[in-house]
Structure 1
């Protein structure tokens, strides 16, 4: 990455020539903070001291939660794990952390254990808990070592827990490690037979040591231990473990826990999610949707309240993408589309390499949302919605030819199905041109790779492998384009009334889902073939609303009244909240009328007696994640002139929190952003930096006598009291020190993206792209 460095003298004149927006007298703070002569925080000058933003306790403490834990009374499970401590509050948070471990809420579990450490410094069981929350990573090893270092402060049982985990972290052989750890846990449970938590961790480790492929008797042994725990504590969060145990083996065996899992720890989203696994396996998609919606709402509430980026939460993206599928299976199309769109709206978390390049996980919310929205719009044939969204970030394709091909296919199909044949005719040649380019590119890459392999005198098999590897990037696009062109031409033929051509092209568009294929077969006059196709789909996609709706429609169209009624009644039973505004269900109105049913032909959902007491979903949290409001602030620049966040009202602003003039990495960060100011302004984003320095400190950083230098292109203001750092949570509550923070705030004052870390965020190109994307989407 090219570096655009500003010397401190450059920054000096920069600030001198920088004009700040005038503060407004709107809704911002009316009083400025007093001017401090000494900052609360100064970057250390000792080269052996931790870098600004880094933990004083070691590398392992740099990552993970650095903001205080909240006490979640009654929300994380009825557990009791006594430790040796003189702090009743520390014991409370330790129990909370144990409950969070049982719910696989590892981020918050570590936060709770860090709170224990704050309340009772160097408590070895707090370190043990932090090690437990981090599995087998390097941080866990360091935490386990600290637990051993301070183990003399633990009681006898605590020392056994510490020894077991320390040995687990030291052993590098996975099988030996897991076997020895289970044996150690069983020894603790045997020595303390009344300790249900010891038994619960034995259960978890037996499961983690591997159950797949084991005899049913092994499952029964674990299930028996769970029953023993629940006999003593009926609402212990180990209901979660029973669900995991039977999830892939025999889902029905876990039904006794699906109505108690979320209820056992209602503040942990994953505890609501897991019953959805079982209900999905049992093809109870309406009930599964409820469970996973509950999980999404609980997560959304916490994320919006505490300013945690959604994809930081374990299994958050997994839950919401599965929820989207279940909503679709249950016929709740509008809700499924809303959830998919919301996943696209979420801030992405990049993985940034040392050279500044970045990537985003394909298993994150954004990727899942794009995939599911595309599928929903295509498979439910929401042609008008496709055209409305085609140029937005909801559907805008990536840079690859395969992505371009998928977009062209979707949009061209929509054009021909809504009578926009002229627009479709313009897009089809673009698809054919791209196919020609990709075919030529494949041959060129393959020829080059083959020639190189031959020159290196490789074996014939290796030459073929080299050619295949070189051609692979082109192959997926060629395949997508070949099938896509066939489908688009088919839709054009149907629009022109050429059923014969449409039939031939349908055979070439081999990846069209069968329920869609059946509708097309019906349109070209092959109703018998359509019925055969959809019957197979209803069988393979059992209990799903879309195939059943197609089957009921086609049977009615074919005059098979008895069979149509049976299929329709089946649909009414499994899809009590089907979206009647969607054509897939709206087209069933004549069938409903023939059966003497009202316009709203849906049935009231049958009460699921095995799902326990269901809370009001609205009380758990919102259905969609929404960006939280940014805290207001009014701060002074180096001249003492006030600047407030309200000054940026009505326009987006990027706020960078940096750790003062003594932080060299902070200066590097500002130097990275400085050359990009014009690029940010092109997308209407202003920049401002908030410093830990005093007003006088800013003057020392930027002397007034610098001459013949460029102006630094954004204002810097003083937050020497650290009140604004704390308000934005760019602050380590445990060590009482500020952290690096970068926040994108939209024109309505909502935080759309953020990074809080021990290191400054410097992936400017990512942030430019992300800002443009997020600010084009609803907030």
Structure 2
């Protein structure tokens, strides 16, 4: 009970310093954001006018209570801001990290490592490429650091010279050779200072940044460059199993592998290791959703949204963090809740995310069209939980947002099927087929990971398969849903998945209805490889086994697993889909 009372008080302390910052002048962006990868556009670092006392940013609660990376400075407060900047960078809040490094430099203008930190966060990261417009600022920071190297230790001088290898002199140059040189220089520095675990983590990060979200084949086999990364991170964790950045990177490095379970103990540690970083608090859910621990994933994201909600609403910051990382927490919360059978919680979270995206007004901009995908998630949740009346009450999207219109038509078509109005469903399918070839949708991607057209294509086959099922055309339904599964399997890894959620659930259900119990069993077992211990597939597997002669013991064992997986659910299943 004390923890429940204390948590909001501590969060108030965390963000109290932001209140004074509201009096500061508005921040002008150094560069404009352009969508690139996973859940974030390119890096944007916002400039800051000083407050009345000259400060650029406050010290936040819950970031560096148990962390410090000592640098050469005569100012204890500058050291605190340096530590905060590094931890914010570890938590992928690079704009706020830049402000902390600039504040460290303000407090100690001769602290070379403060400028190193600024150069560090202006570069690319695992989720975002570098905005070329920030290059001059990175080069300026490096020159400022080099001009103060006489104040540094030998290791600090090495780090400054290493970061200098990261950036080309002109934004017209290909940056990749420079990123490779930077990674190679970090590897050499790590060999020279093997006990510096932050340096080891930076090295692993640089290697991962060379191959963002491209560490594993679809079958879970490692890409050629992955073993080096894994070995480096695991070596770091062997020396310090509580290193926040090493854990953060390990979760990312293993989540798409064939063995994400190896990160579970570290994910558990990360849950409360840096309680002031919403992103680090959220990160364990990347492991949990891939290991069947959906309730733990829900809880992790509920904690993360509390932290980030206060940060966004109190500090009113711009940049990528509130634009992408914050709604990502709600997105993940909706996914985990859906997989544990909590339809109401999933819908609530997805609606909050959708409303937030609309408030940002950016999804109407062509270069930010990816944000439209967030807006569609409530409709997918409603389909998953057979909320037919709720779907039909949803307002039609603007004609200028064809991707939204496509998913809206898909959801309406599914609702009409559920309510037995196949004529209306046929009209939705007709519109959906037209939108499948829409040129605007063809240009849109989900953070450049998957094409929006591919999502619309899956929706079309699922709706067409559902219509065939409702018409009693089971072989045709099975054929169409198998085609949808094939398209779903071709999607690139993203978390949460861009198709929300598994087509194998309706496919398995139709196979059960068709009496093809052995094939249904195979479908559900395959689904449990993709979404481990999800109750939807477990119920389907139970049904398929119960219908097969001599498999009752197997069926009862699966039923126990289902009851455990579904203990938090707000619905009961009679198949792998909601029978409504």
Q: TM-score range by the shorter chain?
A: 0.5 to 0.7
In 2, distance between residues paired with 1:71 and 1:251?
A: 35
Counterpart of 2:390 in structure 1 is 385
Post-superposition shift, 1:180?
3.3
Structure 2 counterpart SS, 1:567: helix
In 1, distance between residues paired with 2:373 and 2:435?
A: 24
Task: Give yes or no for the alignment of 1:224 onto 2:235.
Answer: yes
Q: Deviations over 1:207-256 (max 9, x none)?
A: 4456741474763344224433x18xx45543223333444454343334
Match of 2:505 among 499, 515, 527: 515
Task: Give yes or no for the alignment of 1:202 onto 2:200.
Answer: no
Post-superposition shift, 1:502?
6.7
Q: How does 1:214-253 map to 2 (within 5 A)?
A: 214=225, 216=227, 219-228=230-239, 230=240, 234-235=242-243, 237-249=245-257, 250-253=259-262
Post-superposition shift, 1:264?
2.5
Counterpart of 1:180 in structure 2 is 181
Counterpart of 2:571 in structure 1 is 580
With the length of structure 2 as denominator, give the TM-score of the two structures. Answer: 0.68
In 1, distance between residues paired with 2:560 and 2:452?
A: 47
RMSD: 4.5
Higher-Rg structure is 1
In 2, distance between residues paired with 1:253 and 1:482?
A: 36
Post-superposition shift, 1:577?
0.8
Contact 1:402–1:480 (Cα < 8 Å) also in 2: no
Contact 1:77–1:237 (Cα < 8 Å) also in 2: no
Unaligned runs of 5+ in 2: 1-22, 33-42, 50-55, 124-129, 216-222, 440-450, 486-502
Question: Would you say how many aligned residue pairs link Structure 1 and Structure 2?
Answer: 482
Counterpart of 2:46 in structure 1 is 64
Aligned in 2, Cα 1:373/1:147: closer, same or farther, shift over 3 Å?
A: same
Aligned in 2, Cα 1:59/1:224: closer, same or farther, shift over 3 Å?
A: closer
In 1, distance between residues paired with 2:190 and 2:475?
A: 68
Q: How does 1:203-352 map to 2 (within 5 A)?
A: 203-209=204-210, 212-214=223-225, 216=227, 219-228=230-239, 230=240, 234-235=242-243, 237-249=245-257, 250-308=259-317, 312-313=321-322, 315-348=325-358, 349=360
Aligned in 2, Cα 1:573/1:554: closer, same or farther, shift over 3 Å?
A: same
Counterpart of 1:547 in structure 2 is 537
Contact 1:578–1:585 (Cα < 8 Å) also in 2: no
Counterpart of 2:105 in structure 1 is 117
Q: Deviations over 1:460-489 (max 9, x none)?
A: xxxxxxxxxxxx999998996687467447
Aligned in 2, Cα 1:256/1:414: closer, same or farther, shift over 3 Å?
A: closer
In 2, distance between residues paired with 1:433 and 1:259?
A: 48
Contact 1:148–1:162 (Cα < 8 Å) also in 2: no
Aligned in 2, Cα 1:140/1:295: closer, same or farther, shift over 3 Å?
A: farther
Q: Deviations over 1:306-325 (max 9, x none)?
A: 22369634633444333322
Counterpart of 2:373 in structure 1 is 367
In 1, distance between residues paired with 2:566 and 2:116?
A: 47
Contact 1:206–1:222 (Cα < 8 Å) also in 2: no
In 1, distance between residues paired with 2:561 and 2:554?
A: 11
Q: How does 1:693-708 map to 2 (within 5 A)?
A: none
Task: Give yes or no for the alignment of 1:79 onto 2:70.
Answer: no
Aligned in 2, Cα 1:188/1:552: closer, same or farther, shift over 3 Å?
A: closer
Q: How does 1:317-466 map to 2 (within 5 A)?
A: 317-348=327-358, 349=360, 358-359=365-366, 361-364=368-371, 366-370=372-376, 372-387=377-392, 389-391=393-395, 396=397, 399=400, 404=405, 406-418=407-419, 421=421, 425=423, 427=424, 430-431=427-428, 434=431
Post-superposition shift, 1:178?
3.6
Post-superposition shift, 1:75?
2.2
Aligned in 2, Cα 1:570/1:332: closer, same or farther, shift over 3 Å?
A: same
Post-superposition shift, 1:555?
6.3
Q: Deviations over 1:569-627 (max 9, x none)?
A: 11112232112378879989xxxxxxxxxxxxxxxxxxxxxxxxxxxxxxxxxxxxxxx
Post-superposition shift, 1:170?
3.1
Task: Give yes or no for the alignment of 1:161 onto 2:162.
Answer: no
Higher relative contact order, structure no. (Cα contacts within 8 Å, ≥ 6 residues apart): 1
Higher helix fraction (1 or 2):
2
Post-superposition shift, 1:133?
0.9
Counterpart of 2:561 in structure 1 is 570
Aligned in 2, Cα 1:269/1:76: closer, same or farther, shift over 3 Å?
A: farther
Post-superposition shift, 1:343?
1.2
Structure 1 counterpart SS, 2:289: helix
Unaligned runs of 5+ in 1: 1-39, 42-51, 446-471, 494-498, 589-779
Counterpart of 2:519 in structure 1 is 532
Counterpart of 1:144 in structure 2 is 139
Counterpart of 1:695 in structure 2 is none
Structure 1 counterpart SS, 2:58: coil
Structure 1 counterpart SS, 2:271: helix
